[in-house]
């Protein structure tokens, strides 16, 4: 079942179970399996599948690939990721060692797992390319480079939003591995973790990953500053911890006296957040409030405000440092009360108050309520997820808002000002220029959708087609069955189109219509000329090639544009006289004994064994009335007596006309057949050619050539058929005339 190929070491992050990880032991696997009975074997099967592929593989970091996969799965388990997510980790890395990963994984685990693994692998390569850009002097924290990296990540996440958690956990494990192994870290990788991955975790509300990504990245990028802050935190740590434990115990017991079942705990000290506050507010270490911090978790929202009231009553609040994120949640759905107070000695203490549900979301964000039939009705990011679709939309909107977050800081201003990202009804992300409209959106999805666009709903509400869209909106287009763009869309003052791509599509449609009309005019002019000259039997493609064009359409185009004179065509239709046979040659033919010689089924009266040929201009067949014309070197050319070419040549060279007649009919088994052209005009429709061909087949009339052309719903067809008797052909043409849509069927 497995198609394994030997690959060089992969250029993706790797890691081994190190400090801070949960080893992926059989007991842990069993625990997660019990927690998800509907996916009882997914994790076990995925690891068993991947183990022989990964156990001997080493990453560029020097880390074993299977150990890295174990550690990433453990991180996901630690933040509440489902067993499905953990199992996917192994398949992501296994897919790198399969010849046809999508096919193999689909067969073994289903399309859901296979797609997730392949999309994650694609994004890994995109991110590796972004890191390689540093060799070209492009830093990841450079706004232009970062914008392109984030744009590609957004589009990658949009195909399968679960990819984001896999990438966050993988990058965290890579940093943990470097920290444990004390190996030097690529500054590019550390900057990408700090400036891209940590903000992403923040936007999704996965604080547990955010803080660790920030601290580890900062530790590698500014080791001296990191050590200094760590040293400052260690100084008087014992004294500070005793004080905070006394305060924690007092607060918890006092709140319980108010009948509030509160859990109070110290809040971890995150070095990077301390440094940001010191730099952002020009503070020294002693002035940073959250060095002393407590978190209060209570049963419900009412208890949050009751606890806040008690804190403000017993301590001195710093009003400028109070934030109510319950009444007004953060964009990523984070909710909590934040306050900073001073105790009797004037020491600043930061206190956060929240419910257990708010705390779970703050720690694990979307990971705790992931989509794909794992979210239920709990929801995440402040949005109730009543279905898989709602869940996916909510996560995508958080991802899109993450891109917007990056443009809010002064160092990244205008980062995304030129792009927006909107959603289709099935939750696909469409990238558009700023101020794009629903018409731009329609053309970005599909050209035909743009042509047929007649209305739009944005987040469920009908809007005008020139309404500017905003990132995160869901757009649905209403269409007509057969539509065409409006010329108003190209009027810049009306504001229907912003995208250059959409404008080009609309112009191309009108250009095609103009070309169609031009070619129709050209065809009509050429066909009128042929009728006037009595040359309707001529093949248009052959005429075009004779005139130096690649096709009849190319000829019609220049004629329709009045760039090619019809006189050039007339000159071809009226060729110079054929070389006349010498008088003595004719006399020599005529002096032969009179008799009834037969050649090619045509009897040449008065001349025995004379070479004959059927004229291609009129394609005679028995029992047509025929005449012969003596040519130089080609014998006698046999024409229908009503052939316009023959009449013209006979008028000029009467002495070369000779009487001919059809020979006696042969036995049926050896009867001669003759190619005849049949012209059919009909209203174009699906299946027309098939229906006409069926008539010829039923009537045992062999078709040896077909030419078709359709203009403005009218089809012109030329069939070359083999007949032994043109009288029989007339009956067949009568049947063809009865086919639905056929206007005329005649011999050419």
**Residue 3: pLDDT band with limits 50, 70, 90:** very low
Dihedral angle, C-alpha 553, 558, 564, 570, nearest 10 °:
20
CATH class assigned to 26-221 = mainly alpha
Instruction: Report whether 735 contacts 699 (CB < 8 A).
Output: yes
Q: Which of 44-58, 152-166, 339-353 has the lowest mean pLDDT?
A: 152-166
- What average pLDDT does this structure show over 137-146? 52
Half-sphere exposure of 551 (CA within 13 A, CB side): 7
Q: What is the DSSP letter of 293?
A: E
pLDDT of residue 11: 30
d(CA 102, CA 112) in angstroms, rounded, equals 10
As a residue count, the chain comes to 748
**Residue 467: pLDDT band with limits 50, 70, 90:** very high
560 against 392, higher pLDDT: 560
Count each helix (H run) and each strand (E run) in the chain, helices first.
27, 21
d(CA 146, CA 546) in angstroms, rounded, equals 60
What is the maximum span of the chain, computed from C-alpha positions, in angstroms? 143
**Three-state SS letters, 579-646:** CCCCHHHHHHHHCCCCCEEEECCEEEECCCCCCEEECCCCCCCCCCCEEEEECCCCCEEEEECCCHHH
pLDDT of residue 285: 59
171-206 pLDDT, tens digit each: 999 999 999 998 888 888 888 888 878 887 877 777
Query: Nearest-5° angle of CA 373, CA 377, CA 381?
Result: 95
Closest of 132, 130, 212 to residue 171, by C-alpha: 212
d(CA 612, CA 599) in angstroms, rounded, equals 7
Query: What does the buried/exposed string (b/e) look like for 229-257 if buried means 16 or more CB atoms within 10 Å of the residue's CB?
Result: beebeeeeeeebeebbeebbeebbebbee
- Helix, strand or coil, per DSSP, at residue 354: strand
d(CA 158, CA 397) in angstroms, rounded, equals 10
Q: Where are the alpha helices (DSSP H) in 162-265?
A: 163-181, 187-192, 198-203, 207-221, 223-234, 237-257
Query: Nearest-5° angle of CA 577, CA 583, CA 587?
Result: 130
For the cut 90, the answer to whether the pLDDT of residue 22 exceeds it is no
Q: The tokens 């870290």 sit on which residue?
A: 185
Q: Which of 160-169, 208-217, 228-237, 313-322 has the lowest mean pLDDT?
A: 228-237
d(CA 462, CA 702) in angstroms, rounded, equals 59
pLDDT of residue 69: 93
For residue 710, give both structure tokens: 């359709």
Mean pLDDT of the chain: 76
Instruction: Report whether 94 contacts 53 (CB < 8 A).
Output: yes
Instruction: Report whether 211 contacts 171 (CB < 8 A).
Output: no
Q: Which of 38-42, 117-121, 275-279, 616-620 has the lowest mean pLDDT?
A: 38-42
Q: Which of 135-139, 513-517, 566-570 has the lowest mean pLDDT?
A: 135-139
Closest of 295, 279, 296 to residue 287, by C-alpha: 279
302-352 pLDDT, tens digit each: 999 999 999 999 889 988 889 999 999 887 678 999 998 888 888 788 899
For the cut 70, the answer to whether the pLDDT of residue 37 exceeds it is no
For the chain, residues classed under CATH 3.10.20.30 are 419-498
Sheet containing strand 626-630, strands side by side: 596-599, 602-605, 657-662, 626-630, 636-640, 612-614
For the chain, residues classed under CATH 1.10.3210.10 are 26-221
**Phi, psi for residue 680 in degrees, rounded to 5:** -125, 130
- What average pLDDT does this structure show over 272-289? 67
Report helix angle 163-181 to 207-221, nearest 10. 40
Closest of 290, 296, 324, 300 to residue 310, by C-alpha: 296
Q: What is the DSSP letter of 383?
A: B
- Helix, strand or coil, per DSSP, at residue 31: helix
For the chain, residues classed under CATH 3.30.460.10 are 232-369
d(CA 152, CA 150) in angstroms, rounded, equals 5
Task: Enumerate the β-bridge partners of residue 291.
Answer: none
Q: Which fold has domain 419-498?
A: Ubiquitin-like (UB roll) (3.10.20)
- What average pLDDT does this structure show over 576-603? 48
For the cut 70, the answer to whether the pLDDT of residue 265 exceeds it is yes
CA 535 to centroid of chain Cα atoms: 51
Does domain 674-747 fall under CATH 3.30.70.260? My reply is yes
Sign of CA dihedral 70, 71, 76, 78: positive
Q: The tokens 């005008």 sit on which residue?
A: 464
For the chain, residues classed under CATH 3.30.70.260 are 674-747
d(CA 212, CA 219) in angstroms, rounded, equals 10
d(CA 93, CA 117) in angstroms, rounded, equals 8
Cβ contacts of residue 32 below 8 Å, gap of 6+?
43, 77, 83, 86
Query: What does the buried/exposed string (b/e) look like for 618-651 if buried means 16 or more CB atoms within 10 Å of the residue's CB?
Result: bbbbbebebbbbbbeeebbbbbbeebbbbeebbe
Domain covering 232-369 in this structure, CATH number: 3.30.460.10
pTM above 0.75, yes or no: no
- Helix, strand or coil, per DSSP, at residue 558: helix
């Amino acid at each position: 079942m497995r198609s394994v190929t030997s690959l060089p070491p992969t250029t993706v992050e790797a890691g081994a179970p190190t400090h801070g990880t949960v080893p992926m032991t059989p007991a842990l696997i069993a625990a997660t399996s019990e927690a998800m009975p509907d996916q009882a074997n997914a994790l076990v099967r995925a690891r068993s599948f991947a183990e022989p592929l990964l156990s001997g593989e080493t990453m560029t970091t020097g880390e074993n690939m299977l150990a890295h996969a174990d550690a990433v799965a453990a991180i996901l388990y630690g933040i509440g990721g489902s067993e499905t997510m953990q199992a996917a980790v192994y398949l992501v890395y296994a897919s790198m060692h399969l010849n046809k990963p999508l096919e193999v994984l689909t067969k073994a685990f289903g399309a859901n797992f296979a797609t997730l693994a392949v999309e994650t692998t694609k994004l890994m390569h995109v991110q590796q390319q972004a890191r390689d850009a540093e060799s070209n002097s492009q830093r990841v924290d450079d706004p232009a480079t970062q914008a392109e990296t984030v744009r590609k990540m957004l589009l990658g996440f949009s195909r399968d939003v679960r990819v984001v958690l896999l990438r966050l956990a993988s990058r965290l494990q890579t940093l943990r591995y470097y920290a444990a192994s004390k190996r030097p870290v690529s500054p590019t990788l550390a900057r990408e973790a700090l400036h891209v991955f940590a903000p992403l975790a923040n936007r999704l509300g996965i604080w547990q990953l955010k803080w660790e990504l920030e601290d580890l990245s900062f530790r590698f990028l500014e080791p001296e500053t990191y050590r200094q802050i760590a040293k400052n935190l260690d100084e008087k740590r014992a004294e500070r911890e005793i004080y905070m434990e006394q305060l924690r115990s007092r607060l918890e017991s006092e709140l319980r006296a108010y009948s509030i079942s509160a859990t109070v705990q110290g809040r971890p000290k995150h070095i990077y957040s301390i440094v940001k506050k010191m730099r952002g507010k020009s503070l020294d270490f002693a002035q940073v409030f959250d060095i002393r911090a407590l978190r209060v978790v209570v049963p419900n929202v009412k208890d949050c405000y009751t606890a806040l009231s008690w804190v403000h009553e017993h301590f001195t609040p710093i009003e400028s440092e109070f934030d109510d994120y319950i009444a007004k949640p953060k964009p990523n759905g984070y909710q909590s009360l934040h306050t900073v107070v001073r105790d009797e000695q004037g020491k600043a203490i930061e206190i956060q108050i929240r419910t257990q549900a708010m705390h779970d979301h703050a720690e694990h964000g979307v990971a705790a309520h992931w989509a794909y039939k794992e979210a239920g009705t709990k929801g995440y990011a402040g949005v109730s997820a009543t279905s898989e679709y709602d869940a996916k939309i909510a996560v995508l909107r958080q991802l899109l808002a993450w891109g917007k977050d990056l443009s809010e800081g002064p160092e990244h201003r205008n980062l995304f000002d030129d792009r927006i990202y909107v959603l289709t009804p099935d939750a696909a992300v469409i990238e558009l220029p700023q101020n794009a409209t629903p018409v731009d959106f329609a053309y970005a999805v599909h050209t035909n959708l743009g042509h047929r666009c007649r209305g739009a709903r944005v987040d469920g509400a009908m809007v005008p087609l020139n309404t500017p869209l905003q990132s995160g909106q869901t757009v649905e287009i209403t269409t007509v069955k057969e539509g065409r763009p409006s010329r108003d869309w190209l009027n810049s003052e009306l504001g229907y189109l912003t995208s250059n791509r959409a404008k080009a599509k609309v112009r191309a449609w009108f250009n095609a219509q103009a070309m169609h009309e031009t070619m129709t005019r050209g065809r009509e002019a050429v066909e009128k000329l042929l009728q006037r000259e009595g040359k309707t039997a001529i093949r248009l493609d052959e005429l075009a090639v004779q005139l130096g064009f690649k096709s009849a359409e190319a000829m019609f185009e220049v004629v329709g544009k009045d760039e090619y004179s019809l006189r050039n065509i007339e000159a071809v239709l009226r060729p110079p006289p054929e070389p006349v046979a010498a008088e003595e040659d004719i006399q020599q033919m005529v002096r032969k004994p009179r008799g009834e010689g037969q050649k090619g089924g045509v009897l040449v009266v008065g001349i025995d064994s004379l070479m004959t040929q059927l004229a291609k201009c009129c394609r005679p067949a028995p029992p047509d009335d025929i005449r012969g014309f003596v040519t130089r070197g080609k014998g006698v050319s046999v024409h229908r007596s009503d052939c316009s070419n023959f009449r013209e040549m006979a008028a000029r060279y009467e002495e070369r006309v000779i009487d001919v007649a059809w020979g006696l009919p042969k036995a049926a088994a050896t009867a001669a057949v003759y190619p005849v052209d049949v012209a059919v005009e009909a209203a174009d429709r699906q299946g027309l050619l098939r229906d006409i061909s069926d008539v010829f087949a039923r009537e045992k009339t062999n078709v040896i050539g077909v030419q078709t052309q359709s203009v403005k719903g009218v089809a012109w067809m030329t069939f070359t058929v083999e007949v032994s008797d043109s009288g029989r052909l007339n009956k067949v043409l009568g049947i063809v005339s009865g086919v639905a849509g056929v206007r005329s069927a005649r011999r050419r």
